[in-house]
Amino acid sequence: MSFISYLINGLSLGSVYAIIALGYTMVYGIAKMLNFAHGDVIMIGAYTALISMTQLGVPVLPAILIAVVVCTVLGVVIERIAYKPLRNASSSLAVLITAIGVSYLLQNIALLVFGANTQTFPSVVKWSGLSLAGGQLKISGVTIVTIAACIVIMIVLTLFVQKSKPGQAMRAVSEDRGAAQLMGINVNGTIALTFAIGSALAAVAGVLLCSAYPSLDPYTGAMPGIKAFVAAVFGGIGSISGAFVGGILLGVIEILGRAYISSQMADALVFAVLIIVLLVKPTGILGKKIQEKV
Amino acid sequence: MKMMKKAASVALASALVVSLAACGSNGGDGNSNSGSTGSDTFMIGGIGPTTGDNAIYGTAVKNGIQLAVDEINEAGGINGYQISYKFEDDQSDSEKSVNAYNTLKDWGMQMLVGTVTSTPCVAVVEETHVDNMFQFTPSATSVESVQYDNAFRMCFSDPSQGTVSADYIADNGLATKIGVIYDSSSTYSTGIYQNFAAEADVKGLEIVSAEAFTSDSNSDFNVQLQKAKDAGAELVFLPIYYQEASLILAQADRMGYAPKWFGVDGMDGILNLDGFDASLAEGVMFLTPFTPTADDEATQTFVANYEAEFGDTPIQFAADAYDCLYVIKAAAEKAGITPDMSVSDICDAMKTAMTEITVDGLTGKQITWGEDGEPSKEPTVVVIHDGAYTVM
Q: What is the mean pLDDT of residues B143-158?
A: 88
pLDDT at B18: 47
Cα(B109)–Cα(A129) distance, integer angstroms:
66
Q: What is the mean pLDDT of residues B98-103?
A: 94
pLDDT at A38: 93
- Collect all residues of chain B within an 8 Å Cβ-Cβ radius of residue A214: 247, 250
Answer yes or no: same fold for B37-156+299-377 and B160-288: yes
Whether the per-residue pLDDT at A277 is higher than 60: the answer is yes
- Mind listing the pLDDT tens digit for each residue in A94-132? 888 999 999 999 998 998 888 777 788 887 887 877 777
Domain ranges for chain B, please list them: 37-156+299-377, 160-288
Q: What is the mean pLDDT of residues A266-274?
A: 82
Cα(B360)–Cα(B369) distance, integer angstroms:
12
Residue B371, Cα to own-chain centre: how many angstroms?
19
Nearest CB to A6: which of B226, B256, B275? B226
CA angle B73, B77, B82 (to 5 degrees): 75
Whether the per-residue pLDDT at B110 is higher than 50: the answer is yes
Could A267 and B220 be called an inter-chain contact, meaning their C-beta atoms sit closer than 8 Å? no
Could B217 and A267 be called an inter-chain contact, meaning their C-beta atoms sit closer than 8 Å? yes
Quickly count: other Cβ atoms within 10 Å of residue A48's Cβ: 22
Nearest CB to B226: which of A5, A117, A267? A5
- Mind listing the pLDDT tens digit for each residue in B301-335? 999 999 999 988 888 889 999 999 999 999 999 99
Cα(B122)–Cα(B20) distance, integer angstroms:
35
Whether the per-residue pLDDT at B12 is higher than 80: the answer is no
Cα(A99)–Cα(A79) distance, integer angstroms:
10
Q: Closest-CA residue in chain B for A210?
A: B219
Q: Closest-CA residue in chain B for A257?
A: B223
Q: What is the mean pLDDT of residues A68-91?
A: 90
Confidence class for position A292, pLDDT limits 50, 70, 90: low
Cα(B244)–Cα(B217) distance, integer angstroms:
10
If residue B7 lies in a helix (H) or strand (E), which one and from where to where? helix B2-27
Q: Is A159 on the interface with B (CB under 8 A)?
A: no
- Mind listing the pLDDT tens digit for each residue in B204-214? 999 999 999 88
The side-by-side arrangement of strands in the sheet containing B111-113 is B82-89, B41-48, B111-113, B134-137, B151-153
Q: Is A219 on the interface with B (CB under 8 A)?
A: no
Q: What is the mean pLDDT of residues A31-42?
A: 90
pLDDT at B30: 35
Q: Across chain A, which distance is largest between two alpha carbons, in Å? A: 64
Q: What is the mean pLDDT of residues A268-276?
A: 84
- In CATH, the number for domain B160-288 is 3.40.50.2300
Superfamily designation of domain B37-156+299-377 = Response regulator (3.40.50.2300)
- Mind listing the pLDDT tens digit for each residue in A138-164? 788 888 999 999 999 999 999 999 999
Confidence class for position B215, pLDDT limits 50, 70, 90: confident
Q: What is the mean pLDDT of residues B105-126?
A: 92
What is the DSSP annotation of B286-297? EE-S--TT--SH
Nearest-CA distance from A211 to chain B in Å? 11
Q: What is the mean pLDDT of residues A176-184?
A: 89
State residue B255 phi and psi, 5-degree precision. -90, 10
Confidence class for position B31, pLDDT limits 50, 70, 90: very low
- Mind listing the pLDDT tens digit for each residue in B37-64? 447 899 999 999 888 767 778 889 999 9
B19 or A286, greater pLDDT: A286
Say which DSSP state B386 is in: T
Confidence class for position B7, pLDDT limits 50, 70, 90: low
Mean pLDDT for chain B overall? 85
Kindly report whether the global pTM for this prediction surpasses the value 0.80.
no
